[in-house]
Structure 1
């Protein structure tokens, strides 16, 4: 099954019950309509403590109340009681009881132009999932000062469908992103990710060059949350989680008295900031990376058009039970990144 020959846009009202997230929490004691939330843990939250997970996803509820329902055993994971220090695993199903929330704000209306651009960016869609070419600069969800993100935009674009993020891309990373349209699809996709059965490829520009045409980085990663909520990941052989990335050299380009290299990065595991940290670990950070990169080199690349992180989720392959053959979806390198390569070649 190929994205180019399967772009169905069915609007059938057959959506099954789907996992909810914090936007659909009911008021505590809200009568017969009150219902618990169900959250399926994705790879991004793997290893996170349940209390921190709740604080991140359930907004408008006092911290003291969240710890109280944890102590009472009202929060369940996979139908069992857990303690506040329980660490989540990808695929865990978290049940949160009805909560009393602050009055919800009216969701920000996404501009029509933005919705039209996102509609054109859909690479594949059927009744169970869609794959979109996420533009750089758009966060996958709102919050932290953002009125809306990709998922809020898609919910306005596909009203009546229960859309959920299957995985994530950093705000400044573009490319293939999967959105589930049914609860059963979300579960199956998380299972595929957990088993390492989804092939994900990225295009990246690194500063310097690989020591070999192809090499695999096997370096455990530990995620730290800084005081302001910023995530910082580092290689940690003792406390880090297993992380492996395979890099392949595609094109070497002269850059002053140095060079940059276009590489394909294959995620064997899927940790936060994995490609960025593993590239930096090799001594070849990604061009345009403000967190793990080389500030001086990034400035030197600006005249060539570099204004963002040069990282693009270029392709993914997977197969769900209902598919007669594997699905492969590709997203072309964005024009602004392609032009950087053109400018570097012209200057060589």
Structure 2
């Protein structure tokens, strides 16, 4: 583990804020300095959150430092102190102090095989959007124990597109359609739909679940609550988040298993997985919410992944059109 040392200056004084001892100091060799300046927000970033904009422009500066500078009023919008979730507008004037990030260990380069795998998984691309058919067991982004994910591989593959951002998430174990915005305007459009107009987007998943799914079990409204380790169904709990999943039987395998289609009406963490478990029909291969016995059964059939796949996506576009994509489940499913 290492500490990143960050230095910022106001009125010419340089102060160490992370790592080392506080005090006046000169930037060290190999450091990166962002000079104090006033920035005019381009119209293409109109409506974007301030913290998201700053992180896209000040690459390598820890989010914790940016939050502190905003909280202390050292970063201002049109001369005023604002919160990190403030939404900027085209033409706003941002006042930034000098920020210097001293060099630390560089992140590991993205492996070539991962870059190639993600490039080959692209099923749609236009001037605003990339959609990837994400393989199972591939993270969407870098994190603890994960050197790189889909977004890092795409950025390596497409250095000519500076604003690539995930529009949403898929669990690492889940395969299927994943949207990546190429422009800030498209990112805002998709996030607004996912946050405030979920009824306008149609996201459907295929899943193999244990047992015979009842024909009359078509909707789950079980509220969900996140804990430190998992998401749980929390009926009657005031802390539970509203959630809604619609189900349809696609194919039956006797009484042992059923292929279902699940349509998300809300997008809570692990929503389909928890709703299936709560219904008594956990998803095959789900190591967190599944049935150990059923998981052993599907592994015996040669299936090594969780059988949950984002197979259909219908999303309204900013120009009034609708993008409709489908992706078949992984070939591994044919073994069941």
- TM > 0.5 between the two? yes
- Could you give the per-residue CA deviations for residues 156-212 of structure 1, whole angstroms, max 9, x where no partner exists? 111121200000001111100000000000001111112112110000011112222
Deviation at 1:273? Answer: 0.2
Q: Highest CA radius of gyration, 1 or 2?
A: 2
- Could you give the per-residue CA deviations for residues 234-273 of structure 1, whole angstroms, max 9, x where no partner exists? 112321110000111111103xxx4110000000000000
Q: Secondary structure at the match of 1:202?
A: strand
Tell me what 2:328 maps to. 332
Tell me what 2:264 maps to. 267
Q: Of 231, 234, 257, which aligns to 1:233?
A: 231
Summarize the alignment of residues 37-56 of structure 1 with structure 2, pairs less than 5 Å apart.
Answer: 38-40=50-52
- Could you give the per-residue CA deviations for residues 98-153 of structure 1, whole angstroms, max 9, x where no partner exists? 76656354343333333222222111100101101011111001120211111000
Distance 1:216 1:96 in 2: 50
Q: Of 284, 292, 295, which aligns to 1:298?
A: 295
The answer as to 2:225 corresponding to 1:222 is: yes
The two structures, once aligned, show a CA RMSD in angstroms of 3.3
Tell me what 1:151 maps to. 151
Structure 1, unpaired ranges of 5+:
1-25, 42-53, 227-231, 341-348
The change in CA–CA distance for 1:291 and 1:31 in structure 2 (over 3 A counts) is: closer
Summarize the alignment of residues 99-248 of structure 1 with structure 2, pairs less than 5 Å apart.
Answer: 101=101, 103-161=103-161, 162-194=163-195, 195-196=197-198, 197-212=200-215, 215-226=218-229, 232-236=230-234, 237-248=237-248
Tell me what 2:319 maps to. 322
Distance 2:115 2:69 in 1: 39
CA contact (8 A) 2:51 2:67 kept: no
Q: Secondary structure at the match of 2:132?
A: strand
Deviation at 1:80? Answer: 7.2
Tell me what 2:306 maps to. 309
- Could you give the per-residue CA deviations for residues 68-101 of structure 1, whole angstroms, max 9, x where no partner exists? 5575356899x97459xxxx8xx978x9977665
Tell me what 2:19 maps to. none
Tell me what 1:17 maps to. none
TM-score (ref. length: structure 2) = 0.73
Distance 2:119 2:109 in 1: 16
Q: Secondary structure at the match of 1:28?
A: strand
Deviation at 1:61? Answer: 5.4
Distance 1:280 1:96 in 2: 51
The change in CA–CA distance for 1:321 and 1:338 in structure 2 (over 3 A counts) is: same
Summarize the alignment of residues 49-88 of structure 1 with structure 2, pairs less than 5 Å apart.
Answer: 69=69, 72=72, 81=82
CA contact (8 A) 1:280 1:293 kept: yes
Deviation at 1:27? Answer: 5.9
Structure 2, unpaired ranges of 5+:
1-5, 10-32, 40-48, 89-93
